[in-house]
Chains A and B, each alone.
Chain A
Amino acid sequence: MSPTEYGWLILAFPLAGMLVVSLGWRVLPGRLPGWIASAAILGSFLASLGALDTVDAESHVDSAWTYAATAGFEADLAILVDPLSVFMCLVVSGVSFLIHVYSVAYMGGDHGYARYFAYLNYFVFSMLLLVLAANFLLLIVGWAFVGAASYLLISYWYRRTTATYAGIKAFVINVIGDVGLVIAAFLLLNETGALDYAGVFSGAEEAFSPNDGTLVAACLLILVGAFAKSAQLPLHTWLPDAMEGPTPVSALIHAATMVTAGVYLIARTHPLFELAPTAADISAIIGTATLVFAASVALVVTDLKRVIAYSTISQIGYMVMGVSIAAYGAGLFHLMTHAFFKALLFMGAGSVIGAMAGIQNLDRMGGFRRAMPFTFLTFTIGALALAGFPLMSGWFSKDEILAYAIERGSGFVVLAVIGYLGAFLTAFYAFRMVFRVFFGEPVPEAHELEHGHLAHGEPINPLTGDPEDTDVGFPGPEHHVAERSWPMKAAMGVLAVLAVVGGVVGIPALTDTLEHFLEPTFEESRYHEVHPSEGAEWAGLAAGGIVAIAGIGLAYVLYVRRSGITLRLRDRYRAVHDFLVHKWYFDELYDALFVRPFTGAGSFGRRVIETDFVQGFIVGGATGVVRAGTSFARAIQTGYLRAYALLLLLGVAAIALYFLVASS
């Protein structure tokens, strides 16, 4: 089979799974929908392996359908299979498969089980479509599908008001990105006359001089799209709210499918960014700013899932920085390792939340170490990988990005330094979670669990405390913990192993497998020769390791050895704490800048324009004209035959008069 045939198979499996599950929700019993959906994603993963086996240095493009063919330009339903897309397919389908398996057990008690898996398959299908698209048109289709799927899944508990609002927020911000991407595609089509990647890239070489204004604008618009999906400043606000969805959905959004789309897009369109270094630099700066911003917020957030969410924003910042400074291999390497440990962290968090009967507040947790040894082990592995502890996967990938930044020199060194600062914060907040959840005095729920009883709380909204029931549209009666369900345990085990050993594909000078595999996609890059020496890489790794250990050590001191000190620190620097707790006041800023003016304009429009102008003038005027016209027509319709004849003759006389006058 050819690579493109595998590519179509990759797309076909989740699509078929979605159709089967969504059409058969009535007849599929028990957990069967979950297993069908998982099997579909597994099929997709196997097809990805097939593509990996057959793909070579060539870019394989295959078109199934031509949407539009005009002079010199075709819009195809075409997929592109090259090392980059195969790599993305492997990560997406592989991690998604494990998340599906985890969900089979985790969502077991929920009403709307089949709906959940139909959405989940649709989400993965959309992401794979996005990754495999061979032109901007199909990319935008996948892009919008991913946005729609995320909306569906974040609002999955649709009777929970906060969840539906979070879904709307995610969707609106994603649409901002969609618009940016669409305009960018229009600009590129206008200038290069092509929509497919190869045509755009070769056309851009001819059409643009380096840093051409139009090209920079197009790249910035692409960045708007990428940042909206990848939750970078200033379009990041939807991602923490997206925690309203079920925990496996968070894992899916954060690890495998959604937020990595922006990184992929920048990597895919790297020829454009290399022609427009200004845009690439802006992207790198924003990525760096995001990583340090999100890490600082993660220090103080008390909601377990939101800590991980801000950690995602921060880690995506590293990836964006990596692909923006032409460290494509390193950025995508980090994308992969991040997918492993971030999915693992979310699964662990889901297990803890299950044990806490839905409570997500870190302040209420503690001492779960003995109650949930498996979760403790895997969560700690995930945290170590996130922190960049030596020999863990995150250590290799993150520090490789920073090594590249130092190698580029000049201003990029500043970025690298900020990156190391972020790494320190990352290590600190990662182990803040570990120490606060698993160490310290066991809370009642942990005690209960040690004696084999799972805590059962009243169903409430964890954000507002409003009472809920457990029917469809709300979370089910209980969510399972990893200790008891083998599918969850299996998924977390596999991910834990990957989080530890995932780094072997990118050990400097020893393996570098990933970089060599991706080389065909990036070999024409003008920065291809820029590569940190082995010594520099190992030095960067050593520095990263030291920073990580320092951060973990600080967290140990603050939260385990002298656990009261954090409260005193908080009171001492209350202003800083408030600033961080309010997430640098981004939500408030957007509320004042956009939401309030728009709602004000909306209510003005409803009160004044709608009632007075539209209802009064346009609608009222139209009905008035129609009414006057009809009453006139009624007056003519006397029903008297002779009156009709008179009108007829009047017309004849008038026309005859006209011709007489006109001809004389």
Chain B
Amino acid sequence: MDITWYLVLSAFIFAIGAAGVMSRRNPLVVLLCLELMLNAGNLALIAFSRMHGGEAGQVFALIVMVIAACEVVIGLGIIVAMYRRRLPIDVDEMSELRG
């Protein structure tokens, strides 16, 4: 298969993830959509790694996974904290930074 196929696929996944981040209000689902976007990036990285025949892209993908794990930990921690304080689980309610 040509590398282009993989890249186009990753672009689609990225766009779907982005659309989800902007249209969903449940922070949990927003986090899931962020995972989608990161994975789209991972797919592109690995495709490029295959294209060049070097493992550097795979190493980057690995580090993106680490970052995704960190983000999950913090994001879920925030969600749990919100739940503990009886706050609504809705990103639109969290608008205290309004100017």
| A633 pairs with B99, CB closer than 8 A | yes
CB contact list, A412-432 vs B, under 8 A: none
Which stretch of A63-71, A215-223, A640-648 is in the interface? A640-648
**Which 8 pairs, one residue from A and one from B, show the smallest C-beta to C-beta distance?**
A637-B99, A639-B95, A639-B98, A634-B99, A641-B91, A639-B97, A645-B21, A642-B22
Q: B2 interface residue, CB < 8 Å from A?
A: no
Q: Which residues of A contact B70 (CB under 8 A)?
A: none
Q: A638 interface residue, CB < 8 Å from B?
A: yes
A-B contact pairs, 14 of them (CB 8 A): A633-B99, A634-B99, A636-B99, A639-B96, A639-B98, A640-B91, A640-B92, A640-B95, A641-B91, A642-B21, A642-B25, A642-B91, A645-B21, A645-B22
| B98 pairs with A638, CB closer than 8 A | yes
Contact with A along B60-92 (1 / 0, CB 8 A): 000000000000000000000000000000011
| Bound complex: CA A641 to CA B96 (Å) | 10
Q: B28 interface residue, CB < 8 Å from A?
A: no
| Bound complex: CA A576 to CA B22 (Å) | 97
Q: Which residues of B contact A634 (CB under 8 A)?
A: 99
Q: A657 interface residue, CB < 8 Å from B?
A: no
Contact with A along B10-24 (1 / 0, CB 8 A): 000000001001110
Q: B56 interface residue, CB < 8 Å from A?
A: no
Q: B94 interface residue, CB < 8 Å from A?
A: yes
Q: A649 interface residue, CB < 8 Å from B?
A: yes
Contact with B along A622-664 (1 / 0, CB 8 A): 0000000000011111111110011001000000000000000
A-side interface size class: 10 to 19
Q: Which residues of A contact B25 (CB under 8 A)?
A: 642
**Which B residue sits closest to A641, measured CB to CB?**
B91
| B99 pairs with A642, CB closer than 8 A | no
Contact with A along B37-78 (1 / 0, CB 8 A): 000000000000000000000000000000000000000000
Given A633-B99, A642-B92, A646-B22: 15 more A-B contacts, CB < 8 Å: A637-B97, A637-B98, A637-B99, A638-B95, A639-B96, A639-B98, A640-B92, A642-B21, A642-B22, A642-B25, A642-B30, A645-B18, A645-B22, A649-B18, A649-B22
Contact with B along A132-170 (1 / 0, CB 8 A): 000000000000000000000000000000000000000
Given the interface contacts A646-B22, A649-B18, A649-B22, does A641 sit within 8 Å of B99 by beta carbon? no
Q: Which residues of B contact A649 (CB under 8 A)?
A: 18, 22
**Which A residue sits closest to B92, measured CB to CB?**
A640
A628 shortest CB reach to chain B, Å: 14
**Which B residue sits closest to A633, measured CB to CB?**
B99
Q: Which residues of A contact B94 (CB under 8 A)?
A: 639, 641
A639 shortest CB reach to chain B, Å: 3
| Bound complex: CA A634 to CA B97 (Å) | 10
B19 shortest CB reach to chain A, Å: 9
| Bound complex: CA A637 to CA B97 (Å) | 7
Q: Which residues of A contact B97 (CB under 8 A)?
A: 637, 639
| Bound complex: CA A633 to CA B98 (Å) | 10
| Bound complex: CA A649 to CA B95 (Å) | 19
| Bound complex: CA A556 to CA B30 (Å) | 112
**Which A residue sits closest to B24, measured CB to CB?**
A642
**Which B residue sits closest to A631, measured CB to CB?**
B99
Q: Which residues of B contact A638 (CB under 8 A)?
A: 95, 98-99
Q: Which of B23, B91, B99 counts the most chain A CB atoms within 10 A? A: B99
| Bound complex: CA A642 to CA B30 (Å) | 9
Q: Which residues of B contact A637 (CB under 8 A)?
A: 97-99
B11 shortest CB reach to chain A, Å: 10
Q: Which residues of A contact B23 (CB under 8 A)?
A: 642
**Which A residue sits closest to B99, measured CB to CB?**
A637
Q: Which residues of B contact A640 (CB under 8 A)?
A: 91-92, 95
Q: Which residues of B contact A642 (CB under 8 A)?
A: 21-23, 25, 30, 91-92
| Bound complex: CA A634 to CA B94 (Å) | 17
Q: Which residues of A contact B92 (CB under 8 A)?
A: 640-642
**Which B residue sits closest to A644, measured CB to CB?**
B97
| Bound complex: CA A555 to CA B98 (Å) | 92
B34 shortest CB reach to chain A, Å: 10
| Bound complex: CA A645 to CA B91 (Å) | 12
Q: Which residues of B contact A639 (CB under 8 A)?
A: 94-99
| Bound complex: CA A608 to CA B76 (Å) | 64
Q: Which residues of A contact B96 (CB under 8 A)?
A: 639
Contact with B along A299-314 (1 / 0, CB 8 A): 0000000000000000
**Which B residue sits closest to A638, measured CB to CB?**
B98
Q: Which residues of A contact B21 (CB under 8 A)?
A: 642, 645
| Bound complex: CA A637 to CA B91 (Å) | 15
Q: Which residues of A contact B95 (CB under 8 A)?
A: 638-641
